[in-house]
Structure 1
Amino acid sequence: MKPARTAAATAVGLATVGTLLGGATATASAATTCTAPVYQRQLFANTTFKGTPRKTDCDSAIDQSWSGAPASGLPKDGFGVRWTVTRDFGSGGPFTLTAAGLDGIRVYLDGVRKVDLWKDTSKAVSRTVDVTVPKGRHTLRIDHVNWTGAAKVKFGYAPRTSASADKVAPLAPGGAAVSYDSATGRARTTWSKNKEMDLAGYRVYRRPQGSSFGATPLATTGSTSYTDSSLPADGRTYYYEVRAYDRAGNVSAGSADQGVTTADRTAPERVSGVAVRASTAGNVVSWQASSAKDLDHYELWASRGGEPDPDGPEFLLSADHTDATAEVGTAYTYTVQAVDTAGNISPVSAPVTAARPAASAVAAPAGLTGTPADAATRLDWTPSGDPAVTGYRVYRRTVHNGGWTPLGTTATASFADTSAPRGKSYYYVTAVDGDGAESAPSAEPAVERLTPATATGPAAPRLTLVSTGIPARSPVVLTAAPGAGDENRLLQGYSWEIEGACGGSGVNLSATGDISWKPPYNGPCTATVYAVDAYGRQSGQGSSLEFFVGR
């Protein structure tokens, strides 16, 4: 009798493999090598699986019945059929094995028997068992024998997908890679297909460099690639990560991060806070500093009568500028744009307009000098001697072409700048007449200030013992220097006290820091030294040295 598989069995078999084995299908053939999840099937002319199989082919599903011999050359009774498949189970986890047969059927996982329905019976037998499959590659083997009569066999395996049963997270997706199209600004992330049989999909995450991945994915997909069309074009580096999740809700660890550096097409925001103040030194334009992290410079545009400056804009690093070339009495309109390192230019700011005033007829101050000290920079100049002068106005800037800031007005020919910053500052002074008009600016001295103004006194000095008065009655020599953090502070000098064998000198002041005296007798000696700043403030704590003088 010829072997036959019923149409119903064939349909059920294909449906089963589509559900349980990822939809792979294969037709029986003479090939002896079968690609998982397709089974290799061997048919034997005995029930002990001894000798060489009479036939070897591939089978996409185990759901068959025979009323006679299963293949040519096999008996209708007393034959055996063996199916094997080796496949990757991914992270593994809980599975269900379902087996039914007439006559006998046995199921093995990696050689360990999991189902044993091995009897000659006239009634079909079946069993369902739950097993835990470790991660990675494993082999299923299904043995079926028919001793007499009709033969039936059916087998299937599937992951258990309830959240209560499956606590095993999928494996992290492998093979992640990302490519970036600078023309479109899109990034395409790809990865290898996950081996999980209960895979539900993938979640794609994105983060900028220096940040962490958030809880919400950028996208969820069932494919093994994703194209990000929402990537900012700001020149920053962004990283992508992919996580797999299964039908029980378990989520894998992330794939290896893959980064792309975007083309920067994002312009800085429009410059705000633009203001202009007209003075006899020129039109002073200022604005709020740009928040762009990749700011390169500002472009300050000036126009007169609606005509832009033919020389083009001023290229500036600071957020202010003095237009000293503006003509007196002529209205100038100014706008500002920020430019980043990629050359992107912000929208044009709101315009501001001013006209440079004519200087008062009173003479400008002369002989302006600046003297830096610890708590202030002192400015002095020669009074103009003009009875029309009612006072003087002082200006400062810290960038050679930056904007001038008015510091205050004084009736005398001196001024103390207590807010002077560290570094170089530029100053000028104008004379103010009875109408409040200002003269032309004085000359601009530059003052280098190494120590910014401070409300506290100096730190305790550092001492070096040069000579300890040995041999007896030879001089003791100390050298004092500014304390840590005060290396550039301007000091009057050092106040020092000695006691013990050193003598009892009382309080002395050394302007140079070199302290020397002869001790009156031999023995232990203590010297305590304080730093004194330019305003007479003494360090809160002195520095002491203890040593022995004489022999």
Structure 2
Amino acid sequence: MNPARRTTPAAATAIVLATAGGLLTAVTTPASAATSCASPVYKRQFFANTTFSGKPKKTDCDSKIDQNWGTKAPASGLPSNHFGVRWTVTRDFGSGGPFSFPAESRDGIRVYLDGVRKVDLWKDVSTTVKKTVNVTIPSGKHTLRIDFVNWTGAANVKFSYTPRTSSTVDKVKPHTPTGTTATYDTATGKAKVTWSKNKEMDLAGYRVYRRLKGSTYPAKPLATTTSTSYTDTPPPTGQTYYYEVRAADKAGNESTGTADQAVTTVDRTAPPVPTGMSTVSEPKGLRVGWSAVQGAVSYRVYRAASADGVYTRVGSTEQVSYVDASAAEGTTYHYRVTALDAAGNESARSVAVSGKRRDLTPPSAVTGVTVTPTEYGFEVHWDANPAADLASYVVRRGELLGDEEEQMCSLYPGYYVSARTTSYAYTTLPDGEESCFIVDAVDDAGNSSFQWTREAQIVTATELDMTPSVATPEGSPVRLTATSGEAGVELSWSPVADATGYQVYGWNPHAKAYEKLAATTGSSYGDTGAARGTTHFYWVTAQYADGTESAPDADWVVLAP
């Protein structure tokens, strides 16, 4: 209850309630001044009649309408019956929306919104009457007027207006916050975003979003706050970030975002550490390489005599490699690299990589190469290479391209052979094709005679044709695989539906026919009697209950000597 208080003539003042941080404080104004109440405080007027006619007997400010005068007069100089009290307030409702107007009165109460009556309980009653009206208030400023009269008897009145915050009722978004600004402190690296307070009564708070220039705002806000400012520490990358603020109400409705507020940060972020470290010896020195680092404009190269030694800078470059021309041949060095960006930020050092500047003299070309066709492919022989630092031989086979007048040997990748041997059993399906061969020599520094000189003794040879003269029919349900094993040849196949067993056949080149080797109900067979140093051809058929066999599936395998 907020009864009017008596003021003395000597004081000659009226009580005015003003808001300060949400609390009500009392201030005095000269009696001659018109009473002014700061919104959302009501202006209250007392009348000595029920028609609100004439000049009010008293005017003051009231923070809420909740009075119970009983049978007493509401203020000095007013009667206890047949009086009226009027409250008015004009306030900004922001985006507006659904509101509830609960009213209680003894005797009469009427509530007006912008002059339109919304509540009407206008009767002389002996008990308190109650009514709640749901109203949709448009956005912006609106005026509420509440008229109360007491005809006879006890007097009490209560009224409030509150937003309806159920998400099923309130579908009105808050207004977009205004007055948004963003500032950036280069000393602290902090960005402060500020905005004006929204007017909505059901405001839950604000959501602050941040995005990098060129990207979109994420679905999740950077922060939520009930304040009208937020301080952020954006990544110190020298890039531009944008902020926007959205208001959210208690029903979960979110406003549109404010205009972008940009800040450009100070670049204090070092580039990533270089990776992909490598070294390679070259004629002019030892080349240190690494993968390109995003944002780097240059690199620094550091060298030490051991992995955990003291590293000294030996050079800088804008490229992704650096040739250390001062590296001595035959000496192992350790390197670490850093990346620098345009702001001069230097990354941490990379992991260490070691390298040795090696000799670049390849062995002499291999001579005395002979290639003999065999039943398992070819037997290759050569003369021992005299290089003292010889590490291995590489036997490479190739395909002859061109016509009879000019042919070229297109080489396949080779097979490395120990430096202690001068022969190699080259296994391949002997089907009568002509091939070319070279034997390359490689030293312990990795120098290849052929790769350095592009010259080698080329020997051509034609394979024996071991292909069975009996063609394999098509349409077999069997899927046969033949592999070489320690005990001979291992055959395996996929099971066939409805098959009661399988027949295994081997090619006899002398009889020029596939001869039966075994019958089995399993899906594998080991030919332990298969001779080494030749090529073996096999068939497998599926056998059915009626004694018939499916078409065979074929495969072959070479057994080296």
The TM-score with structure 2 as length reference comes to 0.57
Aligned equivalents of 1:252, 1:133: Cα separation in 2: 18
1:191 matches 2:195: yes
Whether the 8 Å contact between 1:22 and 1:197 is mirrored in structure 2 is: no
Aligned equivalents of 1:110, 1:282: Cα separation in 2: 90
1:283 matches 2:282: no
Hey, what does 2:316 align to over in structure 1?
315
Which runs of no fewer than 5 residues in structure 2 stay unpaired?
6-16, 364-385, 387-439, 450-561
The letter for the 2-side match of 1:277 is V
Aligned equivalents of 2:217, 2:269: Cα separation in 1: 23
The letter for the 2-side match of 1:268 is P
Hey, what does 2:207 align to over in structure 1?
203
The letter for the 2-side match of 1:117 is L
Matches within 5 A, 1:80-479: 80-229=84-233, 231-290=234-293, 292=294, 294-303=295-304, 312-357=313-358
Matches within 5 A, 1:487-498: none
Deviates more, 1:117-126 or 1:92-101: 117-126
TM-aligned CA deviation for residue 29 of structure 1: 6.8
Which of 23, 31, 36 lines up with 1:33 in the alignment?
A: 36
Deviations 1:303-360 (Å, cap 9, x if unpaired)? 4586765xx4422111112233434444433221111111111111222333434565
The letter for the 2-side match of 1:316 is T
Whether the 8 Å contact between 1:233 and 1:263 is mirrored in structure 2 is: yes
Hey, what does 2:75 align to over in structure 1?
71
Whether the 8 Å contact between 1:105 and 1:116 is mirrored in structure 2 is: yes
Structure 2 CA distance for partners of 1:202 and 1:173, relative to 1, 3 Å = same
Whether the 8 Å contact between 1:24 and 1:60 is mirrored in structure 2 is: no
Whether the 8 Å contact between 2:103 and 2:160 is mirrored in structure 1 is: yes
Aligned equivalents of 2:114, 2:37: Cα separation in 1: 18
Whether the 8 Å contact between 2:362 and 2:447 is mirrored in structure 1 is: no
Aligned equivalents of 1:321, 1:28: Cα separation in 2: 80
Hey, what does 1:53 align to over in structure 2?
56
SS at match of 1:194: coil
The letter for the 2-side match of 1:74 is L
Structure 2 CA distance for partners of 1:50 and 1:275, relative to 1, 3 Å = same
TM-aligned CA deviation for residue 133 of structure 1: 0.1
TM-aligned CA deviation for residue 86 of structure 1: 0.5
Aligned equivalents of 2:339, 2:235: Cα separation in 1: 19
The letter for the 2-side match of 1:271 is P
1:42 matches 2:45: yes
SS at match of 1:212: coil
Whether the 8 Å contact between 2:338 and 2:349 is mirrored in structure 1 is: yes
Hey, what does 1:424 align to over in structure 2?
none
Count of residues paired in the alignment = 352
Deviations 1:387-418 (Å, cap 9, x if unpaired)? x9xxxxxxxxxxxxxxxxxxxxxxxxxxxxxx
Aligned equivalents of 1:241, 1:331: Cα separation in 2: 57
SS at match of 1:91: coil
The letter for the 2-side match of 1:195 is K
TM-aligned CA deviation for residue 27 of structure 1: 5.7
TM-aligned CA deviation for residue 181 of structure 1: 2.8
Deviations 1:414-458 (Å, cap 9, x if unpaired)? xxxxxxxxxxxxxxxxxx99978699xxxxxxxxxxxxxxxxxxx
Deviations 1:442-488 (Å, cap 9, x if unpaired)? xxxxxxxxxxxxxxxxxxxxxxxxxxxxxxxxxxxxxxxxxxxxxxx
TM-aligned CA deviation for residue 241 of structure 1: 1.8
Whether the 8 Å contact between 1:171 and 1:194 is mirrored in structure 2 is: yes
Deviations 1:216-268 (Å, cap 9, x if unpaired)? 12222222222224x32222212222222111111111122222222222211
Structure 2 CA distance for partners of 1:167 and 1:189, relative to 1, 3 Å = same
Whether the 8 Å contact between 1:28 and 1:57 is mirrored in structure 2 is: no
Aligned equivalents of 1:255, 1:36: Cα separation in 2: 26
Deviations 1:282-302 (Å, cap 9, x if unpaired)? 112211111x2x211111223
Aligned equivalents of 1:270, 1:227: Cα separation in 2: 30
Aligned equivalents of 2:135, 2:361: Cα separation in 1: 100
TM-aligned CA deviation for residue 361 of structure 1: 11
Aligned equivalents of 1:234, 1:251: Cα separation in 2: 31
Whether the 8 Å contact between 1:359 and 1:438 is mirrored in structure 2 is: no
Hey, what does 2:452 align to over in structure 1?
none
Aligned equivalents of 1:351, 1:161: Cα separation in 2: 63
Aligned equivalents of 1:99, 1:269: Cα separation in 2: 67
Structure 2 CA distance for partners of 1:361 and 1:106, relative to 1, 3 Å = closer
Task: Report the aligned-residue RMSD.
Answer: 3.2
Aligned equivalents of 2:264, 2:241: Cα separation in 1: 6
Aligned equivalents of 2:259, 2:146: Cα separation in 1: 39
Aligned equivalents of 1:101, 1:434: Cα separation in 2: 108
Q: Percent identity?
A: 57
Aligned equivalents of 1:72, 1:4: Cα separation in 2: 8
Structure 2 CA distance for partners of 1:437 and 1:45, relative to 1, 3 Å = closer
The letter for the 1-side match of 2:173 is A
Q: Which has the larger radius of gyration?
A: 2
Structure 2 CA distance for partners of 1:141 and 1:319, relative to 1, 3 Å = same
Aligned equivalents of 1:228, 1:63: Cα separation in 2: 44
SS at match of 1:25: strand
SS at match of 1:350: coil
Deviations 1:182-223 (Å, cap 9, x if unpaired)? 333332222222211111122222111111111112222222
Deviates more, 1:56-65 or 1:97-106: 97-106
Structure 2 CA distance for partners of 1:172 and 1:361, relative to 1, 3 Å = closer
Hey, what does 1:485 align to over in structure 2?
none
TM-aligned CA deviation for residue 57 of structure 1: 0.6
TM-aligned CA deviation for residue 45 of structure 1: 2.1
After superposing on structure 2, the runs of 4+ consecutive aligned residues of structure 1 that deviate more than 6 Å are 28-31, 432-439
Aligned equivalents of 1:273, 1:316: Cα separation in 2: 17
Structure 2 CA distance for partners of 1:127 and 1:28, relative to 1, 3 Å = farther
Deviates more, 1:131-140 or 1:258-267: 258-267
The TM-score with structure 1 as length reference comes to 0.58
Whether the 8 Å contact between 2:110 and 2:122 is mirrored in structure 1 is: yes
Which runs of no fewer than 5 residues in structure 1 stay unpaired?
6-16, 363-387, 389-431, 440-551
Hey, what does 1:492 align to over in structure 2?
none
